[in-house]
Structure 1
Amino acid sequence: MSRVKLLRYLANLGYGSRREVLGLFADGHVADAAGETLYGDDVRAHDDIRIDGEALDPAPGLLLMLNKPTGYTCSTKDKGRLIYDLLPRRFRHRDPLVSPVGRLDRDTSGLLLMTDDGTLLHRIIAPKSKLPKIYRAHLASDLRGDEGAIFASGTLMLEGEQTLLLPAELEVLGPRDARLTLHEGRYHQVRRMFVAVGNHVEALHRERIGGLELGGLPEGEWRLLGDDERVRLFAQ
């Protein structure tokens, strides 16, 4: 990574306001990897900076995977529990913000990507990307048997909309359980699709986006994604 002036850089990483970060320098909390004290107008590379001997939080351009539990909102300001409560406190103060890539509603769990890279975010959510998103749904009533054909037809239109849905694939897992693969991301799409066929989603979990799956990531936990996983995300 390129070398940067430290005062603004640390403030943008969420370590405090400029005044607070100046205090870190004044009190000798900031040093390089060799232990030499650093100051706000010094220039260093990200990996050469330490605060109280600890490496910095991830550099700008991060991409992380969160296993979102139900009961958490994808917001910085809503009341109640927020996804940022599951991340290091500084992450909600970074500039640019570490933002969710698309959203999962409060009652939906599973794979949520987050990034501070606006270009990457828009590449993932852009309609032309058509990255598959796979959900597991538990329903209030038994499946009728014709839902798969309806969802795959490309002729279904949701209430209040004027464009047809792209074809989606339904895999029946049980009388009231199904796996649904979408290639677009409309508001509450899975729930509204089942309403359109006379059913109701009682529980919804996202298992996969593109080539990425949650794997063994525990609920409520997160991890950074490496370059190989970024490539896998877009491998369909």
Structure 2
Amino acid sequence: MGYGSRTEMARMAKAGGIMLDGVDLTDVTKRIPITPDLPSRMEIDGAPLDPVPGLVILLNKPLGMTCSHKEDGALVYDVLPERWMRRDPAISTIGRLDKQTSGLLLLTDDGDLLHRVISPKRHVKKVYRATLARPLNGTEGDLFASGQLMLEGEDKPLSPAELEVVSPTEALLSVTEGRYHQVRRMFAATGNHVEALHRERLGGLTLPDDLAPGEWKLLNADEIASIFSAS
């Protein structure tokens, strides 16, 4: 879980830095079952144990952050506790938002969940709010819904997508795929340019109004299940 090496954790336990059920855990040979309630029973250096494997994080991704472990500059992982980058299984983003796209981003160490969310067979809707450089021309909705739109450089048309016009230069677009820069390329195919892009919803999960850019929260079982409730 990233707290330290076996030797470091043994040293911490012997010094009284680990408590289980309110009692100092100094026996470093003791085997502790990893159960969902363990964070409520164990403390490390006076703080509750981190979530056990199977965590899902909802991040309000700010502009300028990259969904990568290795690229230069600000990374989405930078907002998480540093030790979480040493967890095994590793935490990864569920899909990606490009550097200039903000909004709802999920991260998890649950590989099965990750693949369920991004699988084309699941048809999990992703809703984006796009601010455009030029007014909509009125043909976009039918084109996106047709299932016939072919993006430049590809040989397979996009699945049908839903467009909701908010204003002449703003729209909500719901897609079920995750192709490279898909939303930007869809509007580019109509002769327009996306100036700002923000993901508001993933399946039945909506970005909370009180979660500021750069802030994150852990999802509970009901919130995780809601991802698939509107797909």
TM-score (norm 1): 0.90
Does 1:96 pair with 2:93? no
Q: 2:215 aligns with which of 199, 221, 224?
A: 221
The percent of aligned pairs where both chains have the same amino acid is 55
Q: 1:186 aligns with which of 168, 179, 182?
A: 179
Q: 1:162 and 1:39, CA in 2 relative to 1: closer, same or farther beyond 3 A? A: farther
The Cα of 1:26 is off from its aligned counterpart by 4.1
The more displaced of 30-39 and 213-222 is 30-39
CA distance in 2, matches of 1:175, 1:107: 22
Q: 1:71 aligns with which of 64, 86, 89?
A: 64
The Cα of 1:134 is off from its aligned counterpart by 0.1
Does 1:33 pair with 2:12? no
The Cα of 1:69 is off from its aligned counterpart by 0.4
Runs of at least 4 residues off by over 6 Å: none
The Cα of 1:231 is off from its aligned counterpart by 1.8
Q: Assess if the C-alpha contact under 8 Å between 1:110 and 1:206 holds in 2.
A: yes
CA distance in 2, matches of 1:51, 1:143: 55
Structure 1: gaps of 5 or more residues: 1-12
Structure 2: gaps of 5 or more residues: none
Does 1:143 pair with 2:136? yes
Q: Deviations over 1:16-61 (max 9, x none)?
A: 2334334323433122122223343212243432212221011110
Aligned-partner SS, 1:234: coil
Aligned-partner SS, 1:44: coil
CA distance in 1, matches of 2:212, 2:21: 32
Q: Assess if the C-alpha contact under 8 Å between 1:76 and 1:92 holds in 2.
A: no
Aligned-partner SS, 2:23: coil
Q: Assess if the C-alpha contact under 8 Å between 1:30 and 1:39 holds in 2.
A: no
Residue number in structure 2 paired with 1:205: 198
CA distance in 2, matches of 1:184, 1:29: 47
Query: Which residue identity does 2:23 align to in structure 1?
Result: G
Aligned-partner SS, 2:24: coil
Aligned pair count? 224
Q: CA RMSD in A?
A: 1.4
Residue number in structure 2 paired with 1:5: none
Query: Which residue identity does 1:29 align to in structure 2?
Result: G
Does 1:231 pair with 2:225? yes
CA distance in 2, matches of 1:191, 1:25: 52
